[in-house]
Chains A and B, each alone.
Chain A
């Protein structure tokens, strides 16, 4: 993957510096983002340096102090925004029941329901392009957490991650299954191929996962996000599979969603009970952070769904 297109003054200056032989870090550090989108695409690229990186950027820059300084500054702003969007109170009661109830009570727009009943072929392909930014690195942000957790939580998370990563079989690796589906739908299966096409909301969804995964102090939020993601996956995945079937899309893409119906019916129980549950047994003070992460996951998906439904209704 090459560096994305700039979306404003900051991203243009930073990406140019990242690609350059003799970069001007000072200029990169002293440029302010023009818009939220400019900030988010810059942050996305800075996080990407810790995943697979860019063919046009020297991989030695992963820990370039100026890029880390810039990342810290942008992610501080982003985290403050996320916290301001979310109500502070978290529900009382036994954790698993409270958590499932919290997600069930959330009433947001559903892209899966739209694909199930109404979306046309082009709208569905557009959604798959948007989803590809995450699904082609599926579970990678949660992998950052593993060494940062108490033993019981680490073991529980790995039980889930092992399944996500195909239990040792690369063909069952979820990201690989999605790539195969993209290819069979006539879409580009390469990692990050559609980054220039995605709106602000997709960048925020992806950056929130990296923010939570890469900061140990946010481990509770990361696991809460993971749990909310899993709890809102199984039923919508069935709607997606049925919608893709209605439109006659590639069986391999239908298989990807069908796999998530069963897998995430397991994963939602693990994420809430054994993963978040064990963290809370060890660190009860993480409860509010778990709910912050969960609420963020739901809120960001609502924003993305509203954006897409508005675009398609226009």
Chain B
């Protein structure tokens, strides 16, 4: 038997705050201050932001889709 709490959770799957995109950026929902590799601080400006994970963005720490033109590492 599921408890009312468990049933409630099943009906309302949790909304992630962070989404890791395969071969792409990390999406973060909400207001955050992101520290870049050099210690610089950057406040998010939109409801959901994409943070660069490939290290090649021209507008770090944000994603600018540059990952799409970098050759993919073979598995």
Contact = CB atoms under 8 A, between A and B. Distances in A.
A131 interface: no
Interface string B20-64: 011111010000000000000000001111100000001100111
B66 to A, nearest CB: 8
A96 interface: yes
Interface string A239-283: 000000000000000000000011111101110011000000000
Interface in B9-23: 19, 21-23
A265 B64 contact: yes
A29 to B, nearest CB: 46
A162 interface: yes
Question: From DSSP, what is the main secondary structure of chain A's interface residues?
Answer: helix
B69 interface: yes
Nearest to B49: A266
Interface string A52-80: 00000000000000000000000000000
Contacts of A163: 46-48
A159 interface: yes
B28 to A, nearest CB: 10
A82 B32 CA distance: 44
B22 to A, nearest CB: 7
Interface residues of B, number: 21
B68 A104 contact: yes
A38 to B, nearest CB: 39
B65 to A, nearest CB: 4
Interface in A163-194: 163, 167
A266 B64 contact: no
A167 to B, nearest CB: 6
A261 B47 contact: no
19 contacts: A97-B23, A100-B23, A100-B68, A159-B47, A159-B48, A167-B47, A234-B65, A238-B64, A261-B59, A261-B64, A262-B59, A262-B62, A263-B46, A264-B65, A265-B25, A266-B50, A269-B19, A270-B48, A274-B19
Interface of B: 19, 21-25, 27, 46-50, 58-59, 62-66, 68-69
